[in-house]
């Protein structure tokens, strides 16, 4: 190993490193290259170890050449580094750029549940006839839910309202909104035009037409001289507003303990228009609600004199109204909270 050897090695290291610097694809490669050549255990240090074997007068010469090579390589590495890092930044800026001209992500718009929507639609119609909407508690007492509606404890009609009881003696989940009408009669003086939409509960096995939790909309009108003809005219107007002004309606005899006489109220079948089809059981008619003249005993329980006042009441299931309107055959769809169903009512 003499001066010429070391000088040649340094030249080789310089040329190879400069070529590698030029070829480095990214900053990481450049860092590795710098460590390999100029690092403490790098190739330059390796070459300089050979200095000890040289004649003393040659040593400074190699040191001077080595310094020139080191500075040259450091400069090349730094320049290439600037280029690469600058390029990387530019590339990152381009890749991560926010396009402020893009439209925003739309928020999902909520909508009313079809049961709730049906209750609003029903209320909107009766409000045009001067009915006022009331609210009433879902937990009731046995007396208001049954006795005051002419359903005594041993009455067979109690079986119509399989009841869910609360852990407090005499308290239950209302099986209909009718107890709310009792409250209205006891707090208001006639003329009364009350609408009571709300949640009701029954101990039921659930099938396509029964649920243990459901909505009801009840109406009550009490005044002097209120007759069945008023009831019939009002319900006919309701059906025409809800299902179409060309729809015919009819009363059929019915039974409820709290009304006398009681009726079932039908609208001509929306599917066949009265001709008879599977949707209406081939009768041409669909029952949309039950109604009747308020039983005198119930008026009395409501604190009203049946000699002076007469009243009618009606009750309907908002889900049933929607089902008839849209040809839905399974009540459970209203309970499943499946967006594929619910979103169709937007
Ligand atoms: C139905 C039938 C009905 C009533 C509800 C009522 C309330 C009072 C007095 C008299 Cl305080 N009647 N409500 C009357 C007849 C029918 O509902 O099938 N509903 C879903």
**Tens digit of pLDDT for each residue in 126-180?**
999 999 999 999 999 999 999 999 998 887 666 667 889 999 998 999 999 999 9
Average pLDDT, the chain: 90
Q: Is the CB of 144 under 6 A from ligand 1?
A: no
Ranges 83-97, 164-178, 240-254, 279-293: which has the least confidence: 83-97
Most confident of 10-14, 24-28, 230-234: 230-234
Please work out whether the CB of residue 258 comes within 6 Å of at least one atom of ligand 1: yes
pLDDT confidence of residue 180: 97
Cβ of 304 closer than 6 Å to ligand 1, yes or no, is no
**Pocket probe mutation, ligand 1, options 188, 259, 295, 298, max atoms within 8 Å of Cβ:** 259
Q: Is the CB of 179 within 6 Å of ligand 1?
A: no
pLDDT of residue 238: 98
β-sheet bridge partners, residue 265: 251, 289
CA 271 / ligand 1 centre spacing (Å): 27
| pLDDT at residue number 239 | 97
Which of the four pLDDT bands, split at 50, 70 and 90, describes residue 199?
very high
This prediction has a pTM of: 0.71
Band (pLDDT 50/70/90 cuts) for residue 204 is confident
Identify the residue with better confidence: 4 or 309: 309
Say what the pLDDT of residue 235 is.
98
Torsion (CA) 157, 162, 168, 174 in degrees, nearest 10: -80
pLDDT at 299: 98
pLDDT (average), residues 48-65: 83
Read off the pLDDT of each residue in 66-84 and give the average, rounded to a whole number.
Answer: 84
pLDDT band at 259 (very low <50, low <70, confident <90, very high): very high
pLDDT at position 288 over 90: yes
- Looking at per-residue pLDDT, the higher value among 178 and 54 belongs to 178
Q: Which atom of ligand 1 is nearest to the CA of 148?
A: 11
Residue 55 has pLDDT above 70, yes or no: yes
Distance 60 CA to ligand 1 centre (A): 115
Check: CB of residue 299 under 8 Å from CB of residue 306.
Answer: yes
Ligand 1 centre from 179 Cα, in Å?
Answer: 10
pLDDT exceeds cutoff 90 at 120? yes
To the nearest whole percent, how much of the chain has pLDDT over 90? 51
Q: 281 or 301, which is more confident?
A: 301
Q: Up-side HSE of residue 289: CA atoms within 13 Å toward CB?
A: 25
Position 262 pLDDT exceeds 80: yes
Please give the pLDDT value at position 159. 67
Q: Which residue CA neighbors atom 6 of ligand 1 most closely?
A: 313
Q: Are strands 213-223 and 310-316 parallel, antiparallel or unpaired?
A: antiparallel
Using the atom order of ligand 1, give the atom closest to the CA of residue 295.
10
Residue 294's DSSP bridge partners are: 259
Q: Is the pLDDT of residue 110 over 80?
A: yes
Q: What is the DSSP string of 63-89?
A: HHHHHHHHHHHHHHHHHHHHHHHHHHH
Give residue 258 CA to ligand 1 midpoint distance, Å.
7
Share of the chain above pLDDT 70, in %: 98
The tokens of 133 are what? 């909407």
Q: How far apart are the first and last CA of the chain?
A: 90
Give burial (CB, 10 Å; 0-12/13-18/19+) of 99: exposed
- Round to whole Å and give the CA distance between 10 and 191: 112
SS3 per-residue string spanning 273-333: CCCCCHHHCCCCEEEEEEEEEECHHHHHHCCCCCCCCEEEEEEECHHHHHHHHHCCCCHHH
**Pocket lining: 259 vs ligand 1, CB cutoff 6 Å:** yes
313 lines ligand 1 (CB under 6 A): yes
- pLDDT of 264 reads 98
Q: For residue 160, what pLDDT is reported?
A: 63
Residue bearing the CA closest to ligand 1, atom 17: 315
Q: Which atom of ligand 1 is nearest to the CA of 262?
A: 15
pLDDT computed for residue 315 by the predictor: 98
């Amino acid at each position: 190993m003499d001066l010429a050897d070391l000088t040649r090695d340094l030249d080789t290291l310089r040329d190879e490193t400069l070529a590698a610097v030029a070829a480095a694809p990214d900053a990481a490669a450049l860092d590795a290259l710098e460590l390999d050549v100029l690092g403490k255990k790098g190739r330059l240090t390796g070459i300089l170890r050979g200095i000890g074997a040289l004649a003393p007068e040659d040593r400074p010469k190699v040191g001077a050449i080595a310094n020139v090579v080191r500075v040259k390589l450091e400069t090349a590495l730094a320049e290439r580094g600037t280029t690469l890092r600058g390029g990387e930044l530019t590339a990152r800026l381009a890749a991560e750029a926010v396009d402020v001209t893009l439209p925003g992500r739309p928020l999902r718009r909520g909508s009313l549940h079809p049961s709730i929507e049906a209750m609003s639609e029903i209320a909107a119609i009766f409000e045009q006839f001067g009915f006022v909407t009331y609210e009433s508690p879902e937990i009731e007492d046995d007396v208001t839910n049954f006795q005051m509606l002419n359903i005594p404890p041993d009455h067979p009609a109690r079986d119509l309202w399989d009841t869910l009881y609360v852990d407090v003696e005499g308290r239950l989940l209302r099986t209909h909104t009718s107890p709310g009408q009792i409250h209205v009669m006891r707090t208001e003086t006639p003329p009364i035009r009350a609408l009571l939409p709300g949640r009701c509960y029954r101990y039921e096995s659930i099938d396509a037409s029964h649920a243990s939790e459901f909505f009801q909309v009840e109406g009550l009108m009490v005044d002097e001289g209120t007759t069945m003809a008023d009831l019939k005219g009002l319900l006919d107007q309701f059906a025409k507003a809800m299902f179409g002004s060309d729809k015919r309606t009819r009363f059929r005899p019915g039974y409820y303990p709290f009304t006398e006489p009681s009726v079932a109220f039908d609208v001509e079948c929306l599917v066949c228009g009265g001709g008879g089809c599977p949707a209406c059981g081939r009768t041409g008619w669909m029952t949309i609600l039950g109604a009747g003249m308020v039983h005198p005993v119930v008026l009395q329980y409501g604190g009203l004199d049946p000699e002076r006042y007469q009243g009618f009441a009606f009750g309907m299931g908002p889900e049933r109204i929607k089902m008839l309107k849209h040809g839905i055959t399974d009540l459970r769809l209203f309970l499943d909270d499946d967006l594929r169903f619910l979103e169709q009512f937007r």
